[in-house]
Amino acid sequence: MSFKKISALLLTAALALTVTAGCKKKEEAPKAEAPAAKPAADTIKIGFLGALTGDVAMFGKPTLEGMKMAAEDINAAGGLLGKKIEIVEADNRGDKQEGASVTQKLISRDNVIAIVGDPTTGITKVAAPIAQKAGVLLISAGATGPGVVENGDFIFRNTLLDSVAIPACIDFFANDLKYKKVAIITSDNNDYSVGFSQTFRDAAKGKGITIVADEKIKDGDKDFSGQITNIKAKKPDVIFFSGYYTEGALIMKEARKQGVKANMFGGDGLFSPEFIKLGGTAVEGSMSALGFSPEQASPETAKFIEAFSKKFAGQVPGLFEAQGYDGVTMIADAIKRANSVDPKVFKDAMAATKNFQGVSGTITIRPGREPIKTPLCLLAVKDGKFALKAKVPVKMD
């Protein structure tokens, strides 16, 4: 056999081995993605679902801080059923697709028994079916829009619902502030905003308040001159914006530029230091309806504020820190009452939660796994800071 033939045969054999090895690697690749080993017997893993980067990190980061603080407090007191709580975190960047991916990884790779998050309605609605199918309890510490708990019996939330907050606010506006005319602005590519606006329209019926304008924008818009021009002509007493703080601040800058005197009102989507930073003096007087305020605090809330301020160099906690803390402590309370870390068991204890004394308020889970929470706190921007304008009690029935 010639040297050339021998060389050719050797080359062919080498290529065959390479292809075989390549195929084998492809066949074995999924093993690298196999679920991690089950958590150690002394560990209870609770997953954080939220954004740590991106536009809505202002909701995710404080939620995670509250969760970690709750875990530290529980562990320092001896843990839960003789086990330590571990918070497993990941960054979904405020993206729905990434939110779905993170949820799946928390369940299949990290073996969490419960998830706290997402603080936003849109991503919670994506994550909830995944958690429900896997039999992992999910409690959102921020999602207030519709279409969340409807996903099944493993899905909960602990935040004050728009359907509860808005009627209380409308009563306050009509009876105490004597508002008669409201302009609505909706971000129609934002699930939270669309649902929130509809809640307002429904709640306003029969309350002596007229909706004089109903404008549409999109998240990411910068120019609101057309919408404000239309609103200015209607002379509303207040502008109800159902979206987030970035667009809210820019809307109010345009409103003041055109001489509109009405202030803005919205939900927890406006409650961020960035709203004030972006809007400056234009957002003075703007209001946000929340289930938490550090002012006129209950004993539980006051204790939490003191501990938080000590831990974070004098900072005062906000809504999302408080609700993140309550998310973990509510899960721990349900596990303790059920005497089990099996979500299929302690989900029933969570559903039976009544008058839970959380740091964000008193919480009861009603039939259908929806929370009722008191009090409602109406905060307004005053001298560059959010300050309590009114506390409105909510009937716990």
- State the CATH number of the domain containing residue 241: 3.40.50.2300
Q: What is the mean pLDDT of residues 277-286?
A: 97
Q: What would the pLDDT profile of 329-372 be if each residue is shown by its tens digit?
A: 999 999 999 999 999 999 999 999 999 999 998 999 999 999 99
Q: Specify whether the CB–CB gap between 107 and 136 falls below 8 A.
A: yes
User: What does the alpha-carbon distance between residue 140 and residue 159 come to, in Å, rounded to a whole number?
Assistant: 8
- In a shared domain, residues 234 and 253: yes
> Does any domain span residue 16?
no
pLDDT at 37 over 50: no
Distance separating alpha carbons of residues 318 and 272, to the nearest angstrom? 9
Co-location of 259 and 303 in the same domain: no
Does residue 144 belong to any structural domain of this protein?
yes
* pLDDT of 5 higher than 70: no
92: its two tokens: 């979904």
- Indicate whether 40 pLDDT > 70: no
For the ranges 24-33, 205-214, 381-390, the lowest mean pLDDT is seen at 24-33
Co-location of 386 and 249 in the same domain? yes
Tell me the mean pLDDT in the region 168-191. 94
- Residue 59, exposed/middle/buried by CB under 10 A (0-12, 13-18, 19+)? buried
- Give the percent of the chain with pLDDT over 70: 89
Residue 22 predicted with pLDDT over 70: no
Full residue range of the structural domain in which residue 225 is found: 163-290+379-392
Q: How many domains are contained in the chain?
A: 2
Residues 180 and 148 in one domain: no
247 with 387, same domain: the answer is yes
In angstroms, the Cα distances linking 147 to 115, 144, 247, 322 are 18, 9, 24, 23
Q: Is 26 a member of any domain? A: no
Whether residue 33 is contained in a domain is answered as no
Indicate whether 134 and 248 sit together in one domain: no
- 240 and 387 inside one domain: yes
Q: Is 319's pLDDT higher than 70? A: yes
Q: Please give the mean pLDDT across all residues of the chain.
A: 89
pLDDT of 219-240, one tens digit each? 999 999 999 999 999 999 999 9
For residue 7, is it within any domain?
A: no
Mean pLDDT across the stretch 266-273? Answer: 90
Give a three-class secondary structure readout of the chain.
Answer: CCHHHHHHHHHHHHHHHHHHHHHHHHHHHHHHHCCCCCCCCCEEEEEEEECCCCCCHHHHHHHHHHHHHHHHHHHHCCCECCEEEEEECCECCCCHHHHHHHHHHHHHCCCCCEEEECCCHHHHHHHHHHHHHHCCEEEECCCCCCCCHHHCCCEEECCCCHHHHHHHHHHHHHHCCCCCEEEEEEECCCHHHHHHHHHHHHHHCCCCCEEEEEEEECCCCCCCHHHHHHHHHHCCCEEEECCCHHHHHHHHHHHHHCCCCCEEEECCCCCCHHHHHHHHHHHCCCEEEECCCCCCCCHHHHHHHHHHHHHCCCCCCCHHHHHHHHHHHHHHHHHHHHCCCCHHHHHHHHHCCCCEEECCEEEEECCCCCEEEECEEEEEEECCEEEEEEEECCCCC
Q: Are residues 321 and 258 in the same domain?
A: no
For position 12, what pLDDT does the model report?
Answer: 42
Residue 200 and residue 234 in one domain: yes
Given a cut of 70, whether residue 33 has pLDDT beyond it is no
Q: pLDDT by residue (tens digit) across 99-132?
A: 999 999 999 999 999 999 999 999 999 999 999 9
Whether residues 202 and 274 share a domain: the answer is yes
pLDDT at 108: 97
Residue 22 within a domain: no
- Tell me, yes or no, whether 78 and 113 share the same domain: yes
Q: Is residue 109 part of a domain?
A: yes
pLDDT at 307 over 80: yes
Is 2 within a domain?
no
The pLDDT of residue 41 is 56
Residues 203 and 279 in one domain: yes
